[in-house]
Chain A
Amino acid sequence: AQTVTQSQPEMSVQEAETVTLSCTYDTSESDYYLFWYKQPPSRQMILVIRQEAYKQQNATENRFSVNFQKAAKSFSLKISDSQLGDAAMYFCAYRRGGGSQGNLIFGKGTKLSVKP
């Protein structure tokens, strides 16, 4: 069974600084997708960034980028120039590939605080 582990329950960053959130996963499959979702307090979950496992190039979305290390099964999220609005729970998630479009498997999350 696939598992996703986020080893940092809480992280804190100073506004305008950079922070990296860690995620590791376990799977025996070669075709899969990885995601980072953001869940602000009392608000719905939104997608931050996604990565196809077959792509070696790390995904980037504005201030958000990932460090995807397939051999190490590691998928960390870097947030640059942190803003107060980045404060939220961040969840790393895995989904198997192929045409199934199946369910997401989430980690337990990392609570990010941004200090002004």
Chain B
Amino acid sequence: DTGVSQDPRHKITKRGQNVTFRCDPISEHNRLYWYRQTLGQGPEFLTYFQNEAQLEKSRLLSDRFSAERPKGSFSTLEIQRTEQGDSAMYLCASSGESRGLSEQFFGPGTRLTVL
């Protein structure tokens, strides 16, 4: 399978704990995006990378959130001191370098539940 993969698929944690999610994009894609989706809502943008550079961050990305893409391949999203409001589906997407219209391919998501 050469699609976008995310790990873990589900994570249950207690409030105050740190969690880290991983995203592996499609291999030739240089852009990688993180979104958050809560129940009944559309995905909301968190941050995006072009290669290893983090080019844009949403105001939703508080200082408890940090994302990295150290070698321009996989990416990690860490949430420190989790809160119940962090419970959501975290989606990763990737897209390739091309002119004009470029499709974002989504992974299956990591569902986070904070107790």
Contacts and interface: CB of A to CB of B under 8 A. Distances in A.
Contacts of A46: 106
A43 B3 CA distance: 13
Given A43-B108, A44-B106, A101 B42 contact: no
A44 B107 contact: yes
A108 B44 CA distance: 10
Interface string B40-71: 11111100101000001010000000000000
Interface residues of B, number: 28
A38 B95 CA distance: 17
A52 B100 contact: yes
Interface string A43-57: 111110010100000
A103 B56 contact: yes
A86 B74 CA distance: 32
A95 to B, nearest CB: 8
A31 to B, nearest CB: 10
Contacts, number: 54
B33 A103 contact: yes
B22 interface: no
A101 B31 contact: yes
B95 A108 contact: no
A33 B101 contact: yes
A106 B44 contact: yes
- Chain A to chain B: the 3 pairs with minimum beta-carbon distance, closest first: A106-B42, A103-B45, A45-B106
Interface of A: 4, 6, 33, 37, 43-47, 50, 52, 91, 93, 99, 101-109
Interface of B: 3-4, 31, 33, 35, 40-45, 48, 50, 56, 58, 91, 95, 99-109
